[in-house]
Amino acid sequence: MTTTAVLIVGAGPTGLTLACSLARAGVPVRIIDKSPRFHRESRGKGLNQRSRELFEDLGVGEAATASGIEHITLRKYRDGVALADDVTFGDRVPTPDAPYASGLIIPQWRTEEILREKLATYGVEVELAGELAGFDQDEDGVTATLTDGRRIRAAYLAGCDGGRSPVRKALGVGFDGQTEAEECMVIGDVRADGLDPAYWHQWFDEDGGIMLCPFRDSDHWQLQAAPEQDAHGRNLPPSLESFQRMFDRHARLAGVKLTDPTWFSTFRVNVRMADRFRVGRVFLAGDAAHVHSIAGGLGMNTGIQDAFNLGWKLAFVLRGQADPGLLDTYENERQPVAAWTLNLTDERMRAVREGVRAPGVGTEAVLTDDVTTLGVGYPWSSLAWGGPKAGHRAPDAPCRNATTGRPTRLFDLFAGPHFTLLGLGAGSTAALAEAEAAHGDRVRTFGIVDDEGHVGRAYGVEGDGLVLVRPDNHVALSTAADGVGEVVAHLARLGG
């Protein structure tokens, strides 16, 4: 039997984000996946603005940006005629507090590849053909058995193994919800030579529709459509021939032929959420914990954000920087977010269905501030310790390092598996030193000069003050410069 601190089942974006979060914190981790090889399927094709911030924290933001498309233009057609263009978040520009004005169109296989490359820098590789047969847990850990007979002992196990999650089923966790009978789609990756890759083409007619989304540096497009039906009204399985017939009917571009299919899938929407995200030493994240409509592209993003939340907490406990009770906050924080996501995506899908009935309208109905998830926070959490913005996302801002005088930005200071204590004004200097002396293993301290007032405005701080930011870049506490005792006391209560 081999051992590790955390065993992750499932090497999609959720599992890989969790693995990167743990590995960079120095926590021994293994990640297994039942697939015999890495896929090249587009699947979940978008990183939203909040996920881009977290990828920057993990050190993979530049690679993702280089591989994705920002502000993609939706071209809407009716009866084969282009009627309107809509640039996604076209009215937005980067701001001091939110550096990403747009999400990214990027195929899921590339997102996973970027995360695997980062994980490899920590000496961790995905173990393919590693299918879980079962597991047992006790007070001290989890013993997992693979289908090939291997056994792995871990302190904790994370099920990031998709909507049909064997981990969830083995736990006996309820997955209540419903299947949306009318929301069925066929999806695939095809070549469409001759189609302009500057646009996400969306043809919606009275009798159906079809969409083709391009990717940077790729000859393949993701095709989405309602399935064809036979004479009896039964859905036909996806095929290249079916895709071509639907394309010809709606696009009416005789010179464009679909070729070289590399992936087909039928997607039927389930709207379900696990009734627990944790059972003992086993956790659920991503699709294993919640599934919903594709409207807004929040499935993969919610999983990534689950993992970022869970990762720092597991790392703190396993490094002895917090008591195991910290892990209770994972479900407490992420389950309400999952419930909100289910409701939001359901509402957005209804808006799209209604909207595409009008000529010149496409999927832009999903493009609300909500789908950026920049507004997602945990003000109800026991880790929201007080002051303005407690529990909410920690914004970015330009500033200067008070010690060196050099320009910096808050996201650069936050990056890493640690709390960050910001000191604004000369009156915070002694407080920073006191916090560093008391909890230097948990927190990094920075005196900053807020020349343009961006930090003060973003965090609701006037004059000299302290802002404590969690490792997942949410505000834990803000207080006056003489309130360092609160900071020290709250960090001490983490235990460990």
pLDDT tens for 17-69 read 999 999 999 999 999 999 999 999 999 999 999 999 999 999 999 999 999 99
Tell me whether residue 226 is exposed, middle or buried, using C-beta atoms within 10 angstroms of its C-beta: 0 to 12, 13 to 18, 19 or more. middle
**What is the rounded CA–CA span in Å between residue 78 and residue 80?**
5
The string of DSSP codes covering 223-234 is EEEPPPB-TTSP
53 and 114 in one domain?
A: yes
Three-state DSSP string of 11-64:
CCHHHHHHHHHHHHCCCCEEEECCCCCCCCCCCCCEECHHHHHHHHHHCCHHHH
Here the CATH number for the domain that contains residue 464 is 3.40.30.120
Identify whether 149 is part of a domain. yes
Total domains, the chain: 2
Identify whether 382 is part of a domain. no
Specify the pTM: 0.97
Q: What are the distances in angstroms from CA 98 to CA 51, 95, 396, 410, 420?
A: 12, 5, 6, 11, 18
67 and 18 in one domain?
A: yes
Least confident piece of the model among 37-51, 199-213, 225-239, 408-422: 225-239
Identify whether 98 is part of a domain. no
Identify whether 245 is part of a domain. no
Tell me whether residue 359 is exposed, middle or buried, using C-beta atoms within 10 angstroms of its C-beta: 0 to 12, 13 to 18, 19 or more. middle
Count of H helices and E strands in the chain? 12, 25
Identify whether 314 is part of a domain. yes
Tell me whether residue 30 is exposed, middle or buried, using C-beta atoms within 10 angstroms of its C-beta: 0 to 12, 13 to 18, 19 or more. buried
413 and 276 in one domain?
A: no
Q: Which of 337, 372, 407 is the last residue of a domain?
A: 372
416 and 355 in one domain?
A: no
423 and 352 in one domain?
A: no
Nearest Cα residue to 171 out of 129, 131, 137 = 137
**What is the rounded CA–CA span in Å between residue 298 and residue 343?**
12
Nearest Cα residue to 386 out of 294, 309, 485 = 485
**What is the rounded CA–CA span in Å between residue 447 and residue 468?**
12
What share of the chain has pLDDT > 70, as a percent? 100
Q: Which residue has the higher pLDDT, 346 or 189?
A: 189
- Cross-strand partners of 47: 104
Identify whether 148 is part of a domain. yes
Identify whether 206 is part of a domain. no
156 and 22 in one domain?
A: yes
60 and 127 in one domain?
A: yes
402 and 321 in one domain?
A: no
Identify whether 434 is part of a domain. yes
438 and 345 in one domain?
A: no
Apex 196 CA angle, 195 and 198, nearest 5: 145
Which pLDDT band holds residue 352 (cuts at 50, 70, 90)?
Answer: confident
Could you list the residue range(s) of the whole structural domain that residue 67 is in? 2-71+104-177+271-359+368-372
345 and 405 in one domain?
A: no
**What is the rounded CA–CA span in Å between residue 9 and residue 31?**
6
416 and 325 in one domain?
A: no
Which pLDDT band holds residue 181 (cuts at 50, 70, 90)?
Answer: low
Q: What are the distances in angstroms from CA 202 to CA 47, 143, 190, 225, 347?
A: 20, 49, 16, 10, 20
pLDDT digits (tens, 9 = 90+) for 269-301: 889 999 999 999 999 999 999 999 888 889 999
114 and 162 in one domain?
A: yes
Which pLDDT band holds residue 354 (cuts at 50, 70, 90)?
Answer: confident
**Strand, helix or coil at 175?**
strand
Cα–chain center distance at 101: 16
Here the CATH number for the domain that contains residue 144 is 3.50.50.60
Phi, psi of 256 (to 5 degrees): -105, 120
